[in-house]
Structure 1
Amino acid sequence: MSKRTIALRLVIDDPVPGVTYSLQDKKSVPVGPVVAGNTALSFDVPVQLAPGPKLSGEFVRREGPERRFVYIAIGGQAGDTASEWSRRAKIDVHTIPNDLLERAVAPKALECHLPGRAKDNGPACGTVKPLGGWQVTDAAAHP
């Protein structure tokens, strides 16, 4: 397998309306901020897939030799200095099954749905686990 770009689609179900969400790059800079309404939010994350498989790219962070993850910034972390929230959701990507990574060839994407709310009814944060796992989907389709 040679190095190629695949798309990860992160769908936040039931986000907190009025709160700003964004991707966060490796330098902790918010990218593509959007204010949540009453519908799901979707972020498409380009990642590089190399043999191993190893995931890398502008949005992929690492901890130790194996763990790879992507941050979704929320409120203040997403650049909204007036927000009452300043959180990040960490989505592990190193646990995506290899067979799904192999099938994620354009025009396909790998999609997961994420919970939008924490126990305090604020935005979900910390390590957030996909609801129902990852699925191969059409990259052109949006929730």
Structure 2
Amino acid sequence: MESEITLHIVLIKPTPNVVFGLQKGSGSNYETIQKQISTSNDLSFTFTVKVKGERSKDTFPKLSGSFVQGPTDNKFVYIDIGTAAGQPDTLWSRRLKIPLTGITWQDIDSLLGNSMLEAIVAGTDKDGGPNCATVKPFEGWHLKHT
């Protein structure tokens, strides 16, 4: 059985004056959507993913869709940053990898009505630039009611 769930990413205090956007598609066939220039505010990205699998034989749901990247056992989404997000006038060219691992069948079951799973991630790295590479530490996905 296939269904869809809504995911929401919040970037806390990202590096100012840099464009951040959600990557849709993969390889050389992708576009950056929901582009936002950071100020002093947090940024957020909302999107849907497909959920597949059988509870009786799959320990975790199988996630797919136009925002989902990576191999079966290590799915993630990308936030494109700076020139990677189409901003020509910046020193930054990075991508932030947000893991989809850890989303359980119980998480899927908890999504009723106007709710989604949310990940809260630091937007600035230790060097003062935009956070990039795989998010560490990653606090995981949590239920959010809208």
Q: Same fold (TM over 0.5)?
A: yes
Tell me, in whole angstroms, the C-alpha distance in 2 between the residues paired with 1:106 and 1:93. 22
Specify the alignment match of 1:57 in structure 2: 65
C-alpha contact (below 8 Å) 2:102/2:141 kept by paired residues: no
Runs of 4+ aligned residues of structure 1 deviating over 3 Å after TM superposition are 129-132
Written as runs of structure 1 = structure 2, the 5 A alignment for 1:83-102 is 83-102=90-109
* Cα distance, 1:134 vs structure 2: 1.8
Give the TM-score normalised by the residue count of structure 1.
0.88
**Secondary structure of residue in 1 paired with 2:130:** coil
Tell me, in whole angstroms, the C-alpha distance in 2 between the residues paired with 1:82 and 1:73. 15
Written as runs of structure 1 = structure 2, the 5 A alignment for 1:101-140 is 101-129=108-136, 132-138=139-145, 140=146
Question: Percent identity of the aligned residues?
Answer: 35
Aligned length: 137
CA-based RMSD of the aligned residues comes to 1.5
* Cα distance, 1:56 vs structure 2: 0.5
Q: Does 1:16 align with 2:28?
A: no
Tell me, in whole angstroms, the C-alpha distance in 2 between the residues paired with 1:105 and 1:24. 27
Residue identity opposite 2:47 in structure 1: V
Residue identity opposite 1:33 in structure 2: K
Give the TM-score normalised by the residue count of structure 2.
0.86
* Cα distance, 1:130 vs structure 2: 6.3
Residue identity opposite 2:88 in structure 1: T
Instruction: Structure 2: give runs of 5+ residues left out of the alignment.
Output: none
Instruction: Structure 1: give runs of 5+ residues left out of the alignment.
Output: none
Tell me, in whole angstroms, the C-alpha distance in 1 between the residues paired with 2:5 and 2:112. 6
Deviations, residues 9-50 of structure 1 (Å, cap 9, x unaligned) = 000001111110000112332112111111110000210111
Specify the alignment match of 2:88 in structure 1: 81
